[in-house]
Structure formats: C-alpha cells, structure tokens
Structure 1
Amino acid sequence: MKKIVVSLACLLAVGAQAQNNGSIASRKLHMAEFAINNLYVDKVNEDKLVEEAIIKMLSTLDPHSTYANPEEVKKLNEPLQGNFEGIGIQFNMAEDTLLVIQPVSGGPSEKVGIMAGDRIIAVNDTAIAGVKMSTDDVMSRLKGPKGTTVRLKVLRRGVRDVLNFTVKRDRIPLYSLDASYIIKNKIGYIRISRFASTTADEFIKALKTLKDQGMKDLILDLQDNGGGYLNAAIDMANEFLGKKELIVYTEGHRAPRSEFFAKGTGRFQNGRLVVLVNEFSASASEILSGAIQDWDRGLIVGRRSFGKGLVQRPIDLPDGSMIRLTVARYYTPAGRCIQKPYENIEKYNMDLINRYNKGEMMNSDSIHFPDSLKSKTKKLERVVYGGGGIMPDYFVPVDTTLYTDYHRNLVAKGVILNVTLKYVENHRKELLNKYKKFSDYKDKFEVNEALINELIAAGDAAKIEMKKDQFKISEPLIKTQLKAMIARDLWDMSEYYKVMNDINPTIQKAVEILQSGDYERKLNK
C-alpha cells in the first residue's frame, strides 16, 4: 500500500513538472508512460513501450515519417554513406553456400588471393555452408571494424584441399553508379541506382571517361532509383544547369523556404540530355528530373514517377535509434509539389497497383491532372503538372509481351540466378579463354539448348510447372537475362546492363528520340 501511495505521489509530481515544462498533450504522454511503468499489474518492458508509442505516433502523420532501431539505422546508412567495413566481395548464396561472384578490385579479399568462383564454407571456424544461415547472419560475420581480421575456409574448383585465408578488414566502397558506356555513336549512357554521398563524384568520373570516348549526348537512367540524399540530387543537377538557376526549394509549417541554386560549374551544361524515369523513381530522382524538365534542359522519358515530395530530417535518439521526421515539402523550379496525396494511407500504399488497374502503365491517356496542378516550364513555357510525380515528356508503356507467370516464378524462386551461378562456376575459365573481351562475348555468345534444359530441370525441381506456351513467349527474355547475368559474373554490373538494355523499350525510345530529330522538335529553343 505504501508503495502505491509513493508511486501516486511521484505521478502527481511528474504531472506538476510536466505542467511547468510543456503542453497538456506532452504532460499526458509523460504521465501515462510513468503510470504504466510504475503501476501496471504486470512487469512491462519500458524500452519496448516507448518504442511502440513512437512508431504509433509517426504512423498517424504521413507515410514517410518513420522510426528505425539502432541496427536498422546502420543498415539504412551504409548504402548512402558510400562505404562499409568488411572483406570486400560480391557474393550470392548458392545452394546454401556462399559463392564469391567477384572480389572488390584492390580490396582485402583480392589482396590475399580469394578469387571469383570460390566457395566460403567457414568464418572464424564457424560453418556457414549447409546450415541454412541467413544472408544477414553471414554478412554480420564478414563485416567488422577496419583493421580487424577474419579467418576463412575456402573451397576452390580444381583444388583438392580446403584453402585457409586470413583477411584484414578494410573500408569497402559502395557504388551508386551501376553502368556507364557509349550506347550508340556519340550517345553516352549512365545508370544511377541511388543518390548517395559519392554519387556526384562517381558521375563526374564516368562523364569524363565518356567524353574522352567521343560522347556528345547523354541518357541518364534513373529508372527504379528510389532517391537518397537531397544534397546528392542538388550536386547532380548542378552538372546540367546554368549559374543561379533554381534547382529545388523546400518549405514547411515550421521550416522557412530554403532555395538551392546551380553554381554554373557543371560539366554537361550544353549537350543533349534524356532522363529516364518510371513508377519506382522517387524523391531525389524527382528533384533532379523535375529541375531538368522545368528548365527545358532535357527530355524526360518513361512513365510517371512515384510522387514523393516530402523532406525527412533525421533525429538521432540516445540509444542509436533514429526518427526520420517529415519537416517540409520540396518544390520544383516551376513551383510544382510532386508529392501525391496521402490523406488515405491505405490508398497511398495501393497507388502503384491502382495505376496498373486503371491502365495508366499501358496508356498515357489514362492519366488526368486537374488544371489547378498545371504549371509552365521556365524557358519554353511548356505545360507540366504537379501533385503526383513527374509526368514524362515521352510516355513508354510497360512491356508485357515477354512476361508470363512461368518466367515470374523462375525469377521469384531464384532459379535463373542459381542456374547462372552454377554455369559460371563450371565454365568460368573456358568462357574467359574463349571471349577475351566483353565485346566478343556480347556479339558471339548464345544461350544454348543445354543451358535452357538445365534451367527447365531446375524449375521442375523448384516445383514450377512447365508451361510450353508461356515458355515460348518468355524465351527471348529468359535467354537475355541468362546472358546478362553470366556477363555480370564474368565482368561487372556495367556489362549486365549492356546486354539487358538491348531489349529495354524505354532506353530504345531514348536513343530513337536523339537520333530522329524528336529532341529538337520538342525542345525548340
């Protein structure tokens, strides 16, 4: 009884203190948490209680105000910071074994002699093969602070004994630029997967290489790019826009208007530019493509982008967790807010599916914007719209002609990936001897009947029903994917896209626009 009286006295004291320090709402929150922790019939986990209260509060605001625990914060930050500390390998889990696709060039694994095709079976005497260990668990054993060491046991084709390596961990770069090459005569192609701290530097380096190879025009691929750092998008836009041209501005209820301008120091202010977007291009991708469109600097090709125009501010909490709180909206130079409505969260989450159902992915005539969302571009006064993503200047429908349920199941169950890994493992030396250069491989390599039969057998083993009519429809796509993934494992990601882009209708449309005169007709400056 005495304990309850004391707790009630403390509760009143907390209420009195909160009354002096904050609003009625904050007092209620403090008193409720104190009461539950001190008076509830059963023991409670206070940390979990507070965490769930934070998550619930954020869920009532908007779709992008979120909470992340300390481990999630670390995972979220790594791709955007541009590096992590580990042993430096690209790998896949094949048949419950870690298969090295490529060691990072100049990285710690390559330095000690680990090679593409090696199978890592143990880490610090702990078996990781044949034990159904998750990819996250495997990575947690391979990653670690720079300078620390890790012992690896490795199986190598053609070598009878298990090989032992000691690898000294180091800082490993994470690249945001997937591919860059000359796609057609004087037309360069650069694909960016996210906007990270190193993106602008990677882009500048790739741009110089392409210019040295004779590039005059550029296709910038932002398809499936979900965004990243605002500053990275600003730095990228600076490469294309003139001095003092507005890139983006942000504004919120408690955040005064902030404007960001190009410095005029960009390295590609004059060449013809086509930017590719689709329904998964969001946030920073929309900042960049919106600025390009509003200044009539280039053409946007593809499908309407995602529609995320909310700015999140990270708020670090004492235990290493973090709140990403929406503090403002961003606006394109013409004053467009790209954020789609989110009053109905369920409808917001279903937006992309609803686009498919309404036919928007197949026909641009299915897209309707009210006149209240109409804006005009800064130089040519072309009509553009806000309120739900960047609408491209040239619409390219989703290509459904090669996709079937059979193909989707092969991809979803990892059959195409695993067959590729096994094929490269068995034929790596033979392929590299036969195709000294990627250009030889691209021109001459064909997926043969034996590899297709192996794929079908692997599909059967994965309990995917073989449907001949569907296979016939998807066969050209399956063969292209196999060829592209083999190229990736033999060389790098850039070679993967060199193969896949040959059947990508959005990229083919971009090339056509630059070669046909459509670019000049649309941007008649």
Structure 2
Amino acid sequence: MKKSKAIRNPFYPIIIALLAIIAVFSWGIFQRLSDNPTVLNRLNPKSSANKLSQLVNYIDEYYVDTIQKEHLVDQTIQKVLQDLDPHSYYITKEEMRRMNEPLEGNFDGVGIEFRIIKDTLVIISVVEDGPSEKVGLLAGDRIIEVDSMHVAGVGLTNSDVFDKLRGPAETEVDIKVLRNGNPNVLDFTVTRGKIPIYSVASSYMLDNKTGYIKLIRFSKTTEEEFHNAASNLKNEGMTSLILDLRGNGGGFLNAAIAICDEFLGDNKLVVYTMGKSQPRHDHYATTVGELERTKVVVLIDQNSASASEIVAGALQDNDRGTIMGRRSFGKGLVQTQLDLYDKSAIRLTIARYYTPTGRSIQKPYGNGIDYDEEYYQRYESGELSDADSIHVIDSLKFITPKGKVVYGGGGIVPDVFLPLDESYRSSYFAHIIYSGMINNFAFDYADSHRDELLSKYDGNTDPNYNFVNDFEVSDQQFNKFVEFTKEGGFDPDKKDILKSEDMIKNRIKALIGRNIWDNDIYYKVLNQKDSDVKSALEISEEGEAI
C-alpha cells in the first residue's frame, strides 16, 4: 500500500485507520443484527467494538488536522478485506449499482452502445426494441447535446456518458444528434427503460449438426437465455455443442448450476460448498435437461474463472463431454454480500466450492504470492504453449467415476490442451487492439459504407451467410488501416505487419459486421480464424460417449 508523503511515521496512522474501520465494520453488523440477543450481548459497553468506536470518534474530534473520515474508512476496509484473500472486497455506494448491473441482467437507460471517437459521442448500435430505437435513433448518429448540455469536443469520458444518459425508467432525456447525409440537427426525446445485459453473446450453427454458444457471464438471466439458445439450435438440427467459456470470469453460483443441469442426469452432483461457518451444501442436477443427449465440448482458457470453472469441473468430474483449452484461472472461493447502512457493501469469502470428485481448484494465494501476476508467470513458464509446463500437485490427484485423473489446487486442467495461438501476435497487433485503433477504423468504414453494405448483404438472403463468406477486407483497405495507425502516432515494423495482416483483416471484418448487424456475425467471422474453435469442431465430429 502506498504511503502518503505528508505523514512522517508510516505505521501509526495505518494502525489507527485499521482500528477505526474495525469499529465501523462492527457497528454496521450491529445495525443489521440488532434483533439478535446473542449479538447484542457480545457488543456490551466493555467490548472491544465499543472501545474502538470511542477511538474513532476521539480521532475525528481531536486530531490536529481535518480528516476525510469516509474516504479513510473506505480505503482501509478495502485493504483489510484484500489481506484476507484476493476475492473479498469492499464496494462503495458509488460503485455498487454499476457492479450489480451485469449480474442483474439489466439496467435503466436509453439503450445504445456508444464509443467516444475524436471527442464525439457516437452511437455504435441501438438495442432492438429499446427506447432509442423506438424514437428513431440510428447507429452512426453523433450525439452533440444532452438535456441542453453540449457534449461534443468537451473531453467527454465514458463515466460522463453513463451519468448523463442513464437514469430511472420512465424518465426522459432530450438528445440532439448529427446524422450522415442530413445537414440538420435532429431532436429526440427518449424515455428511459429497462435495458437487457445479455449473457449469451452469440449462438449459431457452425455446420449442419454442431452448435456454438458463447457465454460471457453468469447472471440472473443466464439460465433462460441459455435454454432458449440451446432450444433454437436443436430445432436447427444440433446434435453436438461447443460451449465457449473462454474469458468468462463467472457470476452467480445458481446460474452455473442451472447450466450444468442442462447436461447432467437426474441426481448427479454438480458442486458442493463448505466453509468454517458454512456446513457442506450439495447441489444436484434435477429433472431431464435440454442437452443430456447432446455431445458437448467446453472451451476454457486462463481467464475462465469461478462459475465457468464450476461448469467445466462438474462436466469433467461426471465424465461428461470434453474440456479443451488452457488451464483455467483457479478461483474456488464463494462470496456473499453484506449490505451496509450507507448503501455500500462487503463481499466476503464464506466458503470454498468443490467439484464432484472433491477438488478445490482455488489457486494458491498469500505468503508472498503475487496473485495478480500469476497469468504472466504462466506465459513466461511456457504453460500457455506447452501442456508439459502445467504445474500440478500429485497430492491433489482425484479420479473420476470412469477412471480419468484430474487435479485440484489451481484451476481446471483441460482434457485436451490447446496452445495459445501466437502465429499472428506482434507488438503491432497488441497496440491496435489495446489502443482501440482497430475499433475506430472499423467503425469509420462501416459508418461511411453503411447503406452500401446493407443494400448488398441485407436483401432477401441471409446477411449472416453472405457477409461472412463473401466480404473481404482488401489489400487497399488494409493499407489504409496501416496509414491510419501511423497517423495515430504508431509506426509499425514491417515484419509485424506481415505477421499480423491476416488476423487484422479478420478483426476489421468482424468489427464491421458487428457495427452493421450484430454479435452473431462478429463471432462467426472471428471463429473462421480461431484455432481453438477449429480444434473443438474436430473433436466434436469424432464423437463422445454420453
């Protein structure tokens, strides 16, 4: 923790702050549990909690300088919780709403995806049947004014946009936009509403019998979304499924259990949780799932965590399907949320979860371990490119019902290892991705060719098929992109350009498709060059025991 230069003795104020926060934390629990006589008896006038409350009040009243007590408390609570384990943490009241939205599955707003391009707020897409679509806002519109406040060329940030456009449902916001091909400023009044945040990013048929579902989070709406996507794919002839959990950082435990229930037979153990104050609680599959007779391959990687690992671990331990990819993140801790009196909250680890064979897949933490740097250690050790470099602990070996060896103690080790594809990676590719240059270029192209692309690919035939298979980013367009990046201050090495050219063209095409149509086109294009998906498709075609 960084120490303030204004404080000469670095230890004394930290100790005082820690004591202060313990007092505030104890009082918050007291407020919530005041009807519990046992708790009230513990918090007697002679208790340490009361003593610490007196101390923090004394500091507030008599300390030589004015202190920002709320800020001090917030920062110190966070430090106290982070010292317990990597996944216990404090959420300020300001952060609370935005952190919950992805898990709730919706938020109140106007229903647009936006990007700030050249200091201008640009609509990338509008939510189907959402508030903005209903009044006629279109992708490509430039928002220049919100509620009589000018927002173009003023250094707008993403946070500013959220503050101005989000608000309670049924409230109104006045928006002025500029639209390509129209010299006039257009006025719209948008009535805010519930905007969905989807868990299923894409679902489509890879071929005549293999479906693909990209799941990006586990939220309250995940079960319904996944069930609907799977049902639609089965109606299209799906007999095998590739479930893509790469990059999925998790979410609600119940959502993960529901997904497993689609694949596992009645009364199969999915997962169990247990902690010092939490007795063992088993979760079982229930009635017949939608996909119990469907072949399944699950894709995971080093960023698949928590609920994603519950799904992968449950299927692996029940000898169901094939897990492919790279060793998952290794988050095997369960948090519960305590809401505090000021609308802030604490998410505290209360249990570990265990896969059906009894594995805890939580990777090590504490005792000098740099938890956040572990990803880079995997890369440097060669683990992401060579299965033999994966470190497993023999004492944490488990056996599945059919005799397969699996390991605990550090993520889910896949049944079939897929090395990280580095054939196209370069410093140039990394720069254009992380800087957002490729997104801006693709949007500019889509915006200036929108009518042409819609006319050519969105007629009576399927634009998904025609655009994905027929459209190509030409060499001329690619050269324009290279010049675009140079104008942005990055002069790439020629070897890097050649190494990454094919993948950059693929990314540009995918982004153009998403800007014009939707995420399905985006993933269809990306997956054409995705070596993991290609390998999963090959395994899926080989068949599996169910």
Q: State the TM-score, normalized to the length of structure 2.
A: 0.90
Q: How far 1:22 sits from its partner (Å)? A: 8.3
**Structure 2 counterpart of 1:476:** 502
Q: How far 1:344 sits from its partner (Å)? A: 3.3
SS at match of 1:160: strand
Q: How far 1:19 sits from its partner (Å)? A: 8.4
Aligned with residue 455 of structure 1, among 469, 478, 481: 481
**Structure 2 counterpart of 1:512:** 538
SS at match of 1:408: helix
Q: How far 1:83 sits from its partner (Å)? A: 0.4
- Decide whether the 8 Å contact of 1:18 with 1:27 is kept in 2: no
Query: CA RMSD for the aligned pairs?
Result: 1.8
Q: How far 1:368 sits from its partner (Å)? A: 2.8
Residues 438/295 of structure 1: CA separation in 2 closer, same or farther (3 Å cut) = same
Residues 20/387 of structure 1: CA separation in 2 closer, same or farther (3 Å cut) = closer
Gaps of 5+ in 2: 1-19, 25-39
**Structure 1 counterpart of 2:422:** 400
SS at match of 1:494: helix
Q: How far 1:24 sits from its partner (Å)? A: 6.3
More off after superposition, 110-119 vs 272-281 = 110-119
Residues 117/349 of structure 1: CA separation in 2 closer, same or farther (3 Å cut) = same
State the Cα deviation string for residues 202-258 of structure 1 (Å, max 9, x = none).
Answer: 001111110110000011000000000111111111111111111111111111111
Q: Quick one: which amino acid aligns to residue 151 of structure 1?
A: D
Counterpart Cα distance in 1 of 2:346 and 2:289: 34
Residues 18/46 of structure 1: CA separation in 2 closer, same or farther (3 Å cut) = farther
Counterpart Cα distance in 1 of 2:442 and 2:195: 26
Residues 82/443 of structure 1: CA separation in 2 closer, same or farther (3 Å cut) = same
Please give the residue correspondences for 1:411-450 in structure 2 after superposition, counting only pairs within 5 Å. Answer: 411-436=433-458, 437-450=463-476
Counterpart Cα distance in 2 of 1:345 and 1:18: 39
Q: Percent identity?
A: 47
Counterpart Cα distance in 1 of 2:425 and 2:76: 44
Counterpart Cα distance in 2 of 1:19 and 1:216: 60
SS at match of 1:208: helix
More off after superposition, 89-98 vs 183-192 = 89-98
Aligned with residue 65 of structure 1, among 85, 88, 101: 88
**Structure 2 counterpart of 1:312:** 335
- Decide whether the 8 Å contact of 1:415 with 1:455 is kept in 2: no
SS at match of 2:182: coil
- Decide whether the 8 Å contact of 2:393 with 2:409 is kept in 1: no
Please give the residue correspondences for 1:82-481 in structure 2 after superposition, counting only pairs within 5 Å. Answer: 82-344=105-367, 346-377=369-400, 379-436=401-458, 437-481=463-507
Residues 399/37 of structure 1: CA separation in 2 closer, same or farther (3 Å cut) = same
Counterpart Cα distance in 1 of 2:369 and 2:413: 23
Counterpart Cα distance in 2 of 1:265 and 1:412: 44
Gaps of 5+ in 1: 1-10
Residues 500/134 of structure 1: CA separation in 2 closer, same or farther (3 Å cut) = same
Q: Quick one: which amino acid aligns to residue 474 of structure 2?
A: N
More off after superposition, 307-316 vs 89-98 = 89-98
State the Cα deviation string for residues 171-211 of structure 1 (Å, max 9, x = none).
Answer: 11111110000012200000000001000100011111101
SS at match of 1:215: coil
Q: Quick one: which amino acid aligns to residue 216 of structure 2?
A: S
Q: How far 1:454 sits from its partner (Å)? A: 2.1
Q: How far 1:503 sits from its partner (Å)? A: 1.2
SS at match of 1:296: coil
State the Cα deviation string for residues 143-173 of structure 1 (Å, max 9, x = none).
Answer: 1111110000011111110000001111111
Residues 25/339 of structure 1: CA separation in 2 closer, same or farther (3 Å cut) = farther
**Structure 2 counterpart of 1:497:** 523
Aligned with residue 511 of structure 2, among 450, 474, 485: 485
Aligned length: 505
- Decide whether the 8 Å contact of 1:419 with 1:454 is kept in 2: no
Counterpart Cα distance in 2 of 1:20 and 1:172: 44
SS at match of 2:336: strand
- Decide whether the 8 Å contact of 1:153 with 1:165 is kept in 2: yes
**Structure 1 counterpart of 2:13:** none
Counterpart Cα distance in 1 of 2:45 and 2:269: 40
Q: Quick one: which amino acid aligns to residue 21 of structure 1?
A: N
SS at match of 2:140: coil
Residues 253/213 of structure 1: CA separation in 2 closer, same or farther (3 Å cut) = same
- Decide whether the 8 Å contact of 1:63 with 1:345 is kept in 2: no
Q: Quick one: which amino acid aligns to residue 464 of structure 2?
A: F
Counterpart Cα distance in 2 of 1:57 and 1:25: 17
Counterpart Cα distance in 2 of 1:496 and 1:23: 64
- Decide whether the 8 Å contact of 2:43 with 2:50 is kept in 1: no
Q: How far 1:34 sits from its partner (Å)? A: 2.7
Q: Quick one: which amino acid aligns to residue 124 of structure 2?
A: I
Q: How far 1:84 sits from its partner (Å)? A: 0.5
Counterpart Cα distance in 2 of 1:22 and 1:459: 67
**Structure 1 counterpart of 2:27:** none
- Decide whether the 8 Å contact of 1:117 with 1:156 is kept in 2: yes
